A and B are shown apart, each in its own frame.
Chain A
């Protein structure tokens, strides 16, 4: 009977159409990446475009974690145990965006009048 319990832990809840689910997820990820590339060439760089990329990245992450990493078929509490701590990262990003703005201001004196300070690699932007 105890062997039966061990087996249950190992093979629980794998859906019978797993193969179909895997390939569907592959196509979703492929299309989302192609959409990324299309956006990159169609739209000029902007904050909105950056947010589009971030949202698409999170959608891709959802599919990888839920299907490939099997999280969708695990117990709900396991999923929350992993996902909830990641909310601290959102907090860190918010703080760092604010700090980055201040650092930009103090490094580059963004008042529109003072010329930007000279750095070691100042001139001749001829790389490409």
Chain B
């Protein structure tokens, strides 16, 4: 008993006997990784803001308004700006909810519930990736009439070298920002699948706790958090 008292004494907490901030090593490192990742995404979004701002006075080649580019919805030809990306946002928020429910179930060591909610989270992530693939396909394929250049050539859609909607930089930034985020979602889905398999096989019951679910959950919520800002800066502003 005397030993425990010394261990939990606040003065010795930084001596290696206890974990700093009373979180485990893995969780602390996950937070620090997410902080560095937040810097990466911030620089991408700031670069987007900078380049867009520098096109403010360009009358000849104006920055396109997102609702002129991303206005399609599956199974309809109606002009529906913002609707598809809002659907994607709801899917990601909801998968964040099922993720945090899995974490909560993990606190109660309820294996069945953890697996159930993890599978729902994986499905949400996969749905989001599918939506993004659809969005990219439309952006790359472009409109039917395309855009005629001064010398008569017609360009359709967007890639890294040409863009029928406006400046090439718009397409470049779209591919980089949403692509980098999409790759994070993809990695998250892979991690979720690994954790679900481990949970289902009883690995965490053997360990006595479901902390791995919490760590992967932190990553998954971060991906949702980044999407909030991609949605704000790319589609709303």
Binding site for B on A (CB under 8 A): 1, 4-5, 7-12, 14, 18-19, 22-23, 25-26, 29-30, 33, 36-37, 40-41, 45, 50, 53-54, 56-57, 60-61, 64-65, 67-70, 74-75, 77-78, 81-82, 85-86, 88-89, 92-93, 96-97, 99-101, 103-105, 107-110, 116-128
Contact = CB atoms under 8 A, between A and B. Distances in A.
Contacts, number: 205
Interface stretch (B120-128, B147-155, B181-189, B191-199): B147-155
B209 interface: yes
A26 B97 contact: yes
Interface residues of B, number: 84
A116 B99 CA distance: 51
A123 B150 contact: yes
Contact of A19 (B49, B101, B147, B217): B101
Contacts of A26: 93-94, 97
B16 interface: no
A89 B57 contact: no
Contacts of A89: 38-39, 42, 46
A83 B231 CA distance: 21
A36 B237 CA distance: 11
Contacts of B21: 74-75, 77-78, 81
14 contacts: A5-B8, A7-B208, A8-B22, A9-B18, A37-B82, A61-B228, A68-B100, A74-B22, A97-B50, A100-B51, A107-B54, A108-B56, A119-B167, A122-B61
Given A10-B209, A18-B104, A68-B96, A116 B38 contact: no
Nearest to B235: A40
Interface in B159-182: 162-168
B55 interface: yes
Contacts of B24: 9-10
B221 A122 contact: no
A61 to B, nearest CB: 6
A5 B7 contact: yes
B229 A57 contact: yes
B137 interface: no
10 cross-chain pairs, A with B, having the tightest CB-CB distances, nearest first: A100-B53, A108-B57, A103-B54, A78-B21, A57-B232, A116-B59, A96-B50, A75-B21, A110-B57, A89-B42
Contacts of B228: 57, 60-61, 64
Given A33-B86, A99-B50, A124-B147, A86 B38 contact: yes
